[in-house]
């Protein structure tokens, strides 16, 4: 009875919200949609979260009476619901027995400790607390995925859910492209889907691209399934191109080449074709024009590269002001009304050197585990699992040099969840994905 009442009330409230379609109403509607799942089937909440979190992102900058942020509320619900599930005795035993996950947790907790200490130095404590909770949700999500998505079937389910989450963002991107509703920036019409900026959308698409390419390797696919995935891959590549985000292009190129050339028995046959295609893509007029802005200009009209170098130099000086605990997590953009466009410097500024070293340590540790497992994998199927993790990490680390990836919950949570899951899953051979 209680569940039926909650479902009915939520449906009615969502219907009223959707009468006036807006970013805020979509965010609140998706948040309210989660309420019945929390009461009836808590395990399904994470599924709903994965499917709808990219949609809620559009409402991240909106609030009701300056208090309620649908994206932040979604994050708090994740911590409460999934946090309760992973603190069960059986879940705790699974976590404690997993060496990769435990090492990840130790480094991430060190990073969270640095973030917590920075709160005491923050001049924007409300924003810092919200950002801290956002990072806690990432830790909860990673542990939940490793515990509850074990084995081949659930691993594939996880990837399918992430791919399905791209339906609404890609549809919105198509709308923005067709009706010219995207963001006009430096003469380009850049699509951004359901995200707040084309850069964030492009980073999300990099992950989607790599996941699709990994699934295409499956030997168990039927011909029509493989063709559908290739079509999907083309749509994602086109959307990524129309974001005009150079950092994402470079990050994906490096990750994709790594995936292709490392322990791939087919590369001897097609490596020259890949090289030719890469050169042809680089020669496209739109690509050349986009990268031409990196060149040197004058002092009154800085190029994109010059502006970033200037911003990074300023940030280094800011870091020196408080190198121990930083100025407070999540405060850089609020303080200077602009992003630093370098996650490593932003983390150093906000959390000090301990935060910086632990944040970088998370990625270095995971990448080292991935490379070790790739080298020691007994089959190409096992190697492909770890190559997906390594490719995601390579793209993430490269894109972080010139952008603010860690400021997006979707990017941070999805990248780390998939990466850690495939490195920490200790299923037997029968649980390995059927890949070449």
Which pLDDT band, with edges at 50, 70 and 90, does 411 fall under? very high
Between 128-142, 173-187, 212-226, 420-434, the lowest mean confidence (pLDDT) is in 420-434
pLDDT tens digits along 18-72: 445 566 666 666 666 677 667 677 888 899 899 988 988 777 666 655 555 777 8
Write down the pTM of the prediction: 0.89
> Which position has the token pair 């699974």?
94
pLDDT tens digits along 202-216: 999 999 999 999 998
Q: Which residue has the higher pLDDT, 268 or 332?
A: 332
Does the pLDDT at position 4 exceed 50? no
Instruction: Enumerate the domain spans of the chain.
Output: 1-87, 100-282+311-431
Q: Average pLDDT in the 282-306 region?
A: 67
Q: Average pLDDT in the 206-234 region?
A: 91
Using left for φ > 0, alpha for ψ between -120 and 50, and beta otherwise, residue 150 falls in beta
């Amino acid at each position: 009875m209680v569940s039926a009442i909650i479902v009915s009330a939520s449906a009615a409230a969502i219907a009223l919200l959707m009468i006036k379609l807006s970013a805020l109403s979509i965010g609140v509607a998706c948040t309210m949609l989660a309420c019945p799942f929390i009461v009836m089937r808590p395990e399904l909440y994470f599924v709903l979260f994965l499917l709808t979190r990219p949609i809620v992102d559009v409402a991240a900058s909106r609030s009701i009476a300056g208090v309620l942020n649908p994206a932040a509320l979604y994050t708090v619900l994740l911590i409460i619901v999934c946090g309760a599930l992973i603190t069960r005795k059986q879940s705790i035993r699974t976590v404690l027995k997993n060496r990769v996950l435990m090492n990840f947790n130790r480094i991430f907790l060190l990073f969270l400790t640095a973030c917590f200490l920075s709160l005491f130095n923050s001049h924007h404590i409300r924003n810092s607390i919200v950002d801290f909770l956002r990072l806690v949700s990432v830790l909860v999500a990673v542990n939940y995925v490793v515990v509850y998505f074990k084995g081949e079937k659930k691993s594939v389910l996880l990837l399918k859910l992430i791919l399905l989450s791209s339906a609404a963002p890609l549809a919105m991107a198509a709308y923005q492209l067709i009706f010219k509703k995207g963001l006009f920036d430096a003469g380009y019409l850049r699509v951004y889907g359901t995200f707040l900026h084309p850069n964030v959308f492009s980073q999300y698409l990099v992950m989607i691209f790599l996941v699709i390419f990994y699934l295409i390797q499956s030997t168990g696919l039927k011909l029509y399934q493989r063709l559908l995935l290739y079509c999907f891959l083309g749509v994602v590549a086109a959307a990524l191109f129309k974001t005009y985000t150079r950092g994402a292009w470079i990050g994906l190129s490096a990750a994709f080449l790594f995936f292709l050339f490392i322990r791939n028995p087919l590369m001897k046959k097609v490596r020259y074709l890949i090289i030719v295609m890469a050169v042809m893509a680089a020669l496209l007029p739109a690509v050349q024009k986009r990268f031409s802005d990196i060149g040197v200009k004058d002092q009154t009209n800085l190029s994109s590269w010059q502006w970033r170098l200037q911003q990074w130099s300023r940030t280094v000086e800011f870091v020196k002001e408080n190198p121990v605990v930083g100025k407070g997590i999540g405060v850089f953009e609020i303080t200077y009304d602009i992003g630093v466009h370098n996650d490593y410097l932003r983390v150093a500024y906000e959390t000090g050197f301990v935060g910086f070293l632990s944040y970088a340590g998370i990625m270095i540790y995971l990448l080292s585990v991935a490379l070790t497992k790739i080298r020691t994998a007994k089959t190409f199927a096992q190697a492909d699992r770890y190559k997906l993790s390594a490719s995601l990490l390579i793209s993430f680390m490269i894109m972080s040099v010139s952008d603010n990836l860690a400021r997006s919950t979707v990017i941070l949570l999805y990248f780390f969840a998939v990466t850690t899951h495939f490195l920490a899953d200790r299923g037997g051979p029968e649980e390995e994905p059927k890949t070449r």
